């Protein structure tokens, strides 16, 4: 165990200067839009504010789910639940899922590090995200299979986040063993607006949102520009642009939606640093060993959702993606002359979709609700590569491959209402994967296929009004990088290596309860079990993840939401986990980075006067850093505060992130590294500190 106190660097706040692109974007968004119900007509020359209509806050967490949820760990979160929540980064949007933690150990354009149910999910290995029907995770990715990068999301336009935890849902496929989140955007907004956010550490963000009604439907447009440096000695120099368009209305005579997204970002990174360099005074807390790290990434997507009939839905999507990421986790351990910097490169196109049919009918006096669905996806990965670099210049090629990966999934479940108080759901999901790998080393080329079938079961019983009990069991899976299925020789040494399984099974079960005694209160308590055939763990000397042995997890989760009155709500999420390797000897079976406790507590006030306040606490508990538990990382508790005041035309807000300027770490590892002035490797803590106290002021104009 260790604690360090290092004086933090400070910078004077810098205020934004909008680029010509930002100014043009703001002008475009501010174009007049058709009047909506919330905008009363004004006489010519009348400059008075529009009348204030009484608004009703709809809390997604307060949604009644008795009789509809399949488990105690299923839920929905609405925009009102997180629009008031102060967030350091967009990746924290997943923290609306009770018990989930999102951290960062590198630059702001890289996918976050996720934790749920005592699992280090790396960048998304066992948690899947779905945006308007399109899977977000990348399989066989250059940095990590399952890579879940949600930097292309604009939080202001997310209407709901629906979440599932566990392996019990037939509709969830790859990377969903721990859980899944579905992000749905608004179809329209009542008031168009433009919003500017500025803060210390040169934080600048511009957001514009507007909707246009037409005879056949509604078009929602949104744009985001973000520039920031953060508290780091090496300025992050984030250059992020997000564009979004969504049409909801008639498509080819059918009801449907078309969604287009465009995301482009580049940044500098301060990766995790060795503790020894901080203690000896060579590095500040926010310093960098290698100041040439960073990356760039882009993603452009088109999505169509079509309602074929009242019972049948069709989803189609296409996405083009590119990423170039520079990292250096071990400094000069492998190459004492040029250093260990690497470039990970990924360039791909993705095509896919789904078809879902659902209906209700009577069978022997019982209501039966069967659902059948098909998911299909094709990844055309033109280049997925790893290079040795120095100051972002390529030196040698480790891997330079192309991959074609196709999958098709068939699933179905049947819900039977045996009585007014008891129902069951039986499900089955089958997956078929086919791939072809063309590697730089011919010995690592090849093609193959794999399949898996997974049963699902849920039961729900209402013994008394306001209380529902659940029992769940199911199998899930995640896919490994298919290059690992075809590998025969180490690309660096040429030594023989063993291939890995492509589809890795997970088994889970859960008993739970949901208590909704009256409107405005929702409490769930669950006890879960999960066994994984293989664990993905971070390996510092490779800068990536590798499969480990099978693991088991047991845990308890408590989640509560209480609407105290019309304008004040309290939410709580507490998790206690126990994780162990199954085949390891006692005392050497701890799972690194398996946090035993997490807690999120928040209180939010939305007063009729226009005053809004949110105060939140997030606790990320201690965790072992190696199998014997002789080395541990300390827990971190952070507090965030948000204040705002709303008028008919203007909103003003101030967020204070890390209110008490707590010293702590977003991420921490224990592995060997070697600095340029060292003659031998040193085993040490390597950490990425939480960002110091940040202030962000918001001005929003509605029209």
Q: What is the pLDDT of residues 245-299, one digit of tens each?
A: 999 999 889 999 999 999 999 999 999 999 999 999 999 999 999 999 999 999 9
Q: How many CA atoms lie within 13 A of 218 on its CB side?
A: 12
Which stretches of 80-214 are assigned E, i.e. beta strand?
Answer: 101-103, 113-116, 119-120, 127-131, 134-135, 158-165, 179-185, 193-199, 203-213
* Alpha carbons 639 and 617: distance in angstroms, whole number: 5
- Whether 482 contacts 436, CB under 8 Å: no
**Which of these, 231, 330, 221, 191, lies nearest to 273 by C-alpha position?**
330
* 152 alpha carbon, distance to own chain's centre: 11
Residue 2: predicted pLDDT: 38
- Which residues is 163 bridged to in the sheet? 75, 181
* CATH number for the domain running over 20-36+62-298+322-702: 2.40.170.20
Q: Over the stretch 376-389, which tens digit does the pLDDT of each residue have? A: 999 999 999 999 99
Cα dist from 313 to 68, 216, 305, 690, whole Å: 20, 20, 7, 43
Average pLDDT over residues 89-95: 94
Residue 494: predicted pLDDT: 86
- Whether 345 contacts 387, CB under 8 Å: yes
- Whether 663 contacts 5, CB under 8 Å: yes
Residue 210: predicted pLDDT: 98
* Alpha carbons 687 and 696: distance in angstroms, whole number: 26
Burial per residue of 646-670, b for 16 or more beta-carbon CB atoms within 10 angstroms, e otherwise: beeeebebebbbbbeeebbbbbbbb
84 or 37: which carries more pLDDT confidence?
A: 84
Judged on CB neighbours under 10 Å (0-12, 13-18, 19+), 498 is exposed
Burial per residue of 39-58, b for 16 or more beta-carbon CB atoms within 10 angstroms, e otherwise: beeeeeeeeeebeeeeeeee
- Mean pLDDT (the chain) is 90
Q: Is the pLDDT of residue 497 over 90?
A: no
Q: What is the DSSP letter of 591?
A: -
Which stretches of 586-664 are assigned E, i.e. beta strand?
Answer: 597-606, 611-620, 623-624, 632-633, 636-646, 650-657
Q: Over the stretch 604-632, which tens digit does the pLDDT of each residue have? A: 999 999 999 999 999 999 999 999 999 99
* Alpha carbons 42 and 56: distance in angstroms, whole number: 24
Residue 21: predicted pLDDT: 35
CA geometry: angle 467, 469, 471, nearest 5 deg = 165
- Whether 275 contacts 284, CB under 8 Å: no
Q: Over the stretch 551-610, which tens digit does the pLDDT of each residue have? A: 999 999 999 999 999 899 999 999 999 999 998 998 999 999 999 999 999 999 999 999
- Whether 401 contacts 437, CB under 8 Å: yes
* Alpha carbons 120 and 370: distance in angstroms, whole number: 35
* Alpha carbons 112 and 305: distance in angstroms, whole number: 28
Q: Is the pLDDT of residue 547 over 50?
A: yes
Q: Grade residue 537 by pLDDT with cuts at 50, 70 and 90.
A: low
373 or 4: which carries more pLDDT confidence?
A: 373
């Amino acid at each position: 165990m260790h604690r360090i106190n290092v004086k933090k660097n400070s910078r004077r706040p810098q205020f934004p200067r909008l680029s010509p692109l930002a100014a043009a974007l703001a002008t475009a968004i501010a174009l007049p839009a058709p009047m909506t119900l919330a905008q009363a007509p004004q006489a010519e020359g009348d400059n008075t504010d529009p009348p204030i209509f009484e608004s009703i806050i709809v809390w997604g967490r307060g949604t009644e789910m008795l009789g509809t949820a399949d488990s105690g760990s299923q839920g929905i979160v609405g925009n009102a639940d997180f629009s008031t929540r102060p967030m350091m980064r967009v990746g924290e949007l997943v923290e609306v899922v009770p018990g989930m933690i999102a951290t960062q150990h590198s630059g702001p354009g890289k996918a976050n590090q996720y934790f749920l149910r005592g699992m280090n999910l790396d960048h998304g290995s066992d948690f899947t995200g779905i945006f308007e029907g399109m899977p977000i995770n990348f399989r066989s990715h250059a940095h990590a299979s399952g890579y879940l990068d949600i930097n292309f999301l604009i939080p202001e336009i997310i209407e709901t986040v629906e979440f599932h935890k566990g392996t019990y849902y037939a509709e969830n496929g790859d990377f969903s063993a721990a859980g899944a989140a579905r992000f749905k955007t608004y179809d329209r907004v009542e008031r168009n607006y433009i919003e500017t956010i500025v803060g210390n550490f040169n934080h600048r963000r511009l957001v514009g949102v507007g909707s246009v009604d037409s005879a056949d439907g509604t078009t929602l447009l949104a744009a985001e520009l973000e520039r920031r440096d953060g508290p780091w000695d090496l300025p992050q120099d984030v250059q992020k642009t997000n564009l979004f368009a969504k049409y909801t209305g008639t498509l080819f005579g059918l009801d449907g939606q078309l969604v287009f997204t465009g995301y482009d970002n580049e940044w500098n990174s301060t990766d995790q640093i060795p503790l020894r360099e901080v203690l000896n005074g060579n590095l500040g807390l926010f310093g960098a060993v290698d100041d040439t790290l960073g990356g760039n990434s882009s993603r452009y997507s088109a999505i169509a959702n079509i309602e074929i009939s009242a019972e049948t839905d069709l989803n189609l999507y296409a996405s083009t993606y590119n990423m170039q990421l520079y990292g250096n986790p071990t400094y000069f351990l492998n190459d004492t002359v040029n250093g260990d910097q690497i470039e990970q490169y990924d360039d791909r196109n993705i095509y896919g979709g789904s078809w879902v049919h659902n209906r209700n009918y009577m069978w022997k006096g019982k209501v039966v609700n069967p659902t059948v669905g098909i998911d299909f996806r094709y990844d055309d990965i033109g280049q997925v590569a790893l290079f040795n670099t120095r100051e972002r210049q390529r030196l040698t090629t480790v891997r330079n491959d192309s991959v074609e990966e196709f999958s098709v999934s068939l699933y179905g479940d049947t819900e039977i209402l045996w009585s007014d108080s008891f129902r069951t759901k039986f499900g089955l999901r089958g997956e078929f994967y086919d791939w072809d790998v063309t590697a730089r080393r011919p010995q690592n080329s090849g093609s193959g296929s794999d399949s898996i079938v997974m049963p699902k079961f849920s039961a729900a019983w209402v013994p008394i009004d306001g209380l529902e009990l659940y029992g769940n069991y199911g199998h899930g899976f995640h896919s490994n990088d298919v290059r690992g299925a075809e590998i025969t020789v180490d690309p660096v040494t040429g030594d023989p290596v063993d291939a890995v399984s492509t589809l890795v099974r997970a088994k889970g079960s859960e008993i739970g309860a949901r208590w909704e005694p009256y409107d405005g209160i929702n409490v769930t308590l669950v006890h879960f079990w999960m066994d994984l055939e293989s664990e993905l763990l971070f390996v510092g000397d490779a800068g990536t993840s590798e499969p480990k042995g099978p693991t088991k997890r047991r845990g308890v989760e408590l989640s509560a939401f209480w609407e105290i009155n019309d304008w004040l709500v309290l939410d709580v999420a507490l998790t206690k986990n126990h994780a162990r390797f199954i085949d390891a000897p006692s005392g050497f079976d701890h799972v690194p980075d398996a946090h035993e406790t997490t807690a999120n507590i928040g209180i939010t006030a939305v007063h009729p006067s226009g005053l809004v306040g949110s105060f939140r606490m997030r606790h990320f508990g201690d965790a072992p850093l190696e199998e014997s538990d002789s080395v541990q990382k300390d827990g971190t508790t952070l507090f965030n505060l948000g204040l705002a005041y709303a008028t008919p035309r203007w909103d003003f807000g101030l967020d204070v992130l890390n209110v008490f300027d707590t010293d702590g770490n977003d991420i921490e590892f224990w592995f060997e590294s070697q600095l340029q002035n060292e003659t031998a490797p040193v085993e040490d803590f390597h950490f990425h500190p939480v960002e110091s106290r940040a202030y962000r002021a918001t001005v929003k104009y509605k029209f």
